[in-house]
Amino acid sequence: MRFLPLVWASLFHKKTRLVLTLLSLTAAFMLFGLLQAVSVLFSSGADFVGANRLITQARVSFTQPLPLALLPRIEAIPGVARVAYSQFFGGIYIDERNFFPQFTVEPERLLDCYPEWKLPADQREAFIRTKTGAIVGRKLVEKYGFKIGDKIPLKSFIFTKKDGTRAWEWEVVGIFDGQDEDWAGRSNLMYLNYGHFDEARQFGQGSAGVYIIRVADPNESERIANDIDRQFENSPDETKTQTEKDWNLSFARQIGDIGLIVTAILGAVFFTILLVTGNTMSQAVRERIPEFAVLKTLGFSDGKVTALVLAEAFALCLIGGLIGMVLAVGAAKVVSGLLNGSPVVVQPVVWLQALATMVALAFAVGIFPALRARRLQIVDALAGR
């Protein structure tokens, strides 16, 4: 502890360089904390705790539709409160840059399953009654200025109409909002009436992409999910039922092996940081060779001088790393919002990984300058040789 002020003061040898190095370390560890938190989220197993909504898709892939004939059999499973079905529409509004998600749904069922969406009663009725009706989320309204009565042309890159065209037109009959800030943030989507869609499409009638199951008791979610999948085992339409959260994450998993991507990014980041910080430490020691010679002259042993340089490296990496991790906690909250409520949390295991990385990084960048300081000959160093 008595050497701490000396180590601390040495860090400020070149203030600008210190700030720049700390910024690099902070940025690196913020990325580390955030990406590791995302990686932990994606690599975690199924979690049914507290899940009040399940998604059932075809076992093979969510791109393979399931027949609507499954609906009554799912509804018959004990504990199922309400079932909706949905088909991803894949429409482009005017220009490809204007892509936003649209789902064809049976209006009543959808709104029963998602009480989080708030829609005036008359607009709800209009959505149920209007075959070409659509409801748009508040965020889309803010972005595109949609209003009730608008006719919105969408060109689907998946579904053609019976007349061979891909141009669909939908009438805005309602504008929905989220029940709270979290749900309001997710309202950048559009629901289309399944009735018109199913009649007008050229292929795939009587099927939907997924079933959305609202369960009566969240504690029963895991059992209900297993019951549904067991129901259709060894049938032509085998299913895979997950919580809504896991299903959302599985979408992101389509990108590829998230863990590998995270490792690759962090590998590149830390290789760069190793060079930046390593160079800083080497330069700091090189410039202070006479000072280390003075310390040795005063009686500091080779071991103490080595320890001082290593302590400096540790202090540098710990300060930058801890600031970065604190920022990562804040960034994780932002990303949580972007991932539709999937909680990206910098968990204790990520903190431990970060601390271990700080220690390893500090050792890697500090050891060679420390050995250089250790080996210096006092007489040569004082003479500037």
Partner 1 sequence: MPVPSAFPPPQYTLKPDPEPVMTALVSIRGVSKRYTRGKQTVEVLAKLDLDIASGDFLALMGPSGSGKTTLLNLIGGLDQPSDGEIRVNDKRIDQLSSNALAKWRARHVGFIFQFYNLLPVLTAEANVELPLLLTDLSKAQRKKAVAAALAVVGLSERATHKPNELSGGQQQRVAIARALVADPTLLVCDEPTGDLDRKTADEVLTLLQDLNRNYGKTIIMVTHDAKAAEYATHQLHMDKGALVVSGAAA
Residues contributing to the site for partner 1 (CB under 8 A): 2-3, 5-6, 9-10, 12-13, 290-291, 294-304, 378-379, 382
Burial of 121 (0-12, 13-18, 19+ CB in 10 A): exposed
The C-alpha atoms of residue 219 and residue 228 are separated, in whole angstroms, by 16
In whole angstroms, the minimum distance from the beta carbon of 379 to partner 1 comes to 5
> Which of 297, 267, 288, 294 has its CA nearest to residue 370?
288
Task: Specify the residue, 12 or 203, whose C-beta has the smaller distance to partner 1.
Answer: 12
Residue 125 phi, psi dihedral angles, 5° rounding:
-60, -45
For residue 364, the Cα-to-chain-centroid distance in whole angstroms is: 31
Least distance to partner 1, CB of residue 22, Å: 17
Shorter beta-carbon distance to partner 1: residue 238 or 291: 291
Of 8 and 271, nearer to partner 1 (C-beta) is: 8
Torsion of CA 310, 315, 321, 327, to 10 degrees: -170
Calpha distance 103→250 (Å, rounded): 18
Q: Looking at beta carbons only, is 4 or 76 nearer to partner 1?
A: 4
Nearer to partner 1, 236 or 384 (CB): 384
Question: Which segments within 219-358 are labelled E, that is strand?
Answer: 239-243
Shortest separation between residue 13's beta carbon and partner 1, angstroms = 6
Q: What is the C-alpha to C-alpha distance for residues 208 and 191, in angstroms, rounded to an integer?
A: 14
- The CB-of-374 to partner 1 minimum distance in angstroms stands at 10
We find the least distance from the C-beta atom of residue 291 to partner 1, in angstroms, to be: 6
Dist. CA 97–CA 100, nearest whole Å: 9
Cβ nearer to partner 1, comparing 97 with 385? 385
CB of 12 to partner 1, least distance (A): 6
